Amino acid sequence: MRLDKFLKVSRLIKRRSVAKDVSEAGRIWVNGREAKASSNVKVGDELLIQFGQKLVTVRVDKIVETTKKEEAAEMYTVLKEESRTNSPEEED
């Protein structure tokens, strides 16, 4: 499934257009690599998403084409949340 669609269906990001903008801005990484909206995600992938000054790491647990609001959180597991001012590549 495309990254932007996964983010929308899982409700990590509410709109697919916003998910596209966030990924094109270089604020999403899949398995440690910067990802584009068109990148494919699969079960087991780790996503690192920068929401402002907050970094959230999630693992993809389930891929479905559509889901209800109550079931969206079953698509991923939050592994880590942290406040940051630097993006991951600036740590080196």
pLDDT tens by residue, 14-24: 999 999 999 99
How many domains, the chain? 1
Residue 91 within a domain: no
For residue 33, list its beta bridge partners: 30
Residue 90 within a domain: no
Q: What is the pTM of this model?
A: 0.83
10 Å CB burial of residue 4 (0-12, 13-18, 19+) is buried
For residue 42, how many other CB atoms are within 10 A of its CB?
11
**14 is in which domain, residue-wise?**
3-85
CATH number at residue 49: 3.10.290.10
String of DSSP letters for 24-67: HTT-EEETTEE--TT-B--TT-EEEEEETTEEEEEEE----S--
Q: How many Å apart are CA 27 and CA 25, to the nearest integer?
A: 6
pLDDT tens by residue, 3-51: 999 999 999 999 999 999 999 999 999 999 999 999 999 999 999 999 9
Residue 92 within a domain: no
